[in-house]
Amino acid sequence: MNQRGRKELQAEADALTWFHTMELADGVRTRGIVEVAAGLDRYGFPDRLDGKTVLDVGAWDGFYSFEAERRGAARVVASDSFSWNGSNDGTKAAFELARRALGSSVEDADVDVLDLDPATLGGPFDVVLFLGVLYHMRHPMLALDRVAAMTRDMMILETAVDLCTFRRPAAVFYPRGELEGDPTNWWGPNPRAVVEMVGAAGFRRVEVIYRPKSAYRAARAVYRRVAKGDRTPLLDIAQRGRMTLHAWK
């Protein structure tokens, strides 16, 4: 792509709202809210996916879909509904621009998590990505059942968690945007609950890849109070974090 083409593509990208920061071409980057590439190691994202079929649930701008394709997946389907229908800050236009700019063959499926169906999407899939979605679900166990039905072999799940020091499976309900002012944040299960819920959805083996250590959670609580002005009690913030697990059928 020549310099003029890069400038035009950058202008197209800048006119859209992005959640994922990603490179669309040499020197052309989206102005996303999250630098998602930094999380690949924390997610334990497979180095290679040669010949695999991959479903990205809640794909938004599609970074992980395109990354799965780049790592050799034979077929990738990016599915979303909420982030594409214009009811929030994002639309499907960013995903479509990224797909065109990258020359990608990733398929798209405009479908809600609770409407996922192997018969209509050509599943189940070898690998299902369920990243940053579970805590947005009003019915998280039902959502996991739907995702499990789409999974032939492996699921990678990343989610917000709460009550991290509580040993029994439990979850916090967030009314009225209690978590970071976002009314779509509904539940904060604790790490034990996430593992048990995944098992109840039919996955036989679960491996925790990442969970926040207590020192990190404490430092984050102080940061949110001082830098972000978060008036949530410090002990409550210190219970929160994010976790990633891999699960196999």
Count of Cβ atoms closer than 10 Å to residue 154 Cβ: 19
E-strand ranges in 87-210 read 107-110, 125-131, 151-161, 171-173, 187-189, 205-210
For residue 228, is pLDDT > 80? no
For residue 181, what pLDDT band results from cuts at 50, 70 and 90?
confident
Residue 54 gets which letter from DSSP? E
CA-CA distance, 17 to 87, in Å (whole number)? 13
Count of Cβ atoms closer than 10 Å to residue 54 Cβ: 26
**What does the pLDDT average to over 116-137?**
97
Say what the pLDDT of residue 177 is.
86
Say what the pLDDT of residue 231 is.
80
For residue 86, what pLDDT band results from cuts at 50, 70 and 90?
confident
For residue 191, what pLDDT band results from cuts at 50, 70 and 90?
very high
CA-CA distance, 134 to 149, in Å (whole number)? 15
Phi, psi (degrees; rounded to nearest 5) at 188: -125, 85
For residue 187, is pLDDT > 90? yes
For residue 20, is pLDDT > 80? yes
For residue 125, what pLDDT band results from cuts at 50, 70 and 90?
very high
What rounded mean pLDDT belongs to the chain? 94
For residue 229, what pLDDT band results from cuts at 50, 70 and 90?
confident
Say what the pLDDT of residue 234 is.
87
Question: 140: burial class by Cβ within 10 Å (0-12, 13-18, 19+)?
Answer: buried
Among 42, 34, 37, 82, CA closest to 59: 82
Q: Which fold has domain 39-248?
A: Rossmann fold (3.40.50)
Count of Cβ atoms closer than 10 Å to residue 139 Cβ: 13
Domain boundary assignment for the chain: 39-248
Q: Which two tokens stand for residue 4?
A: 């003029």
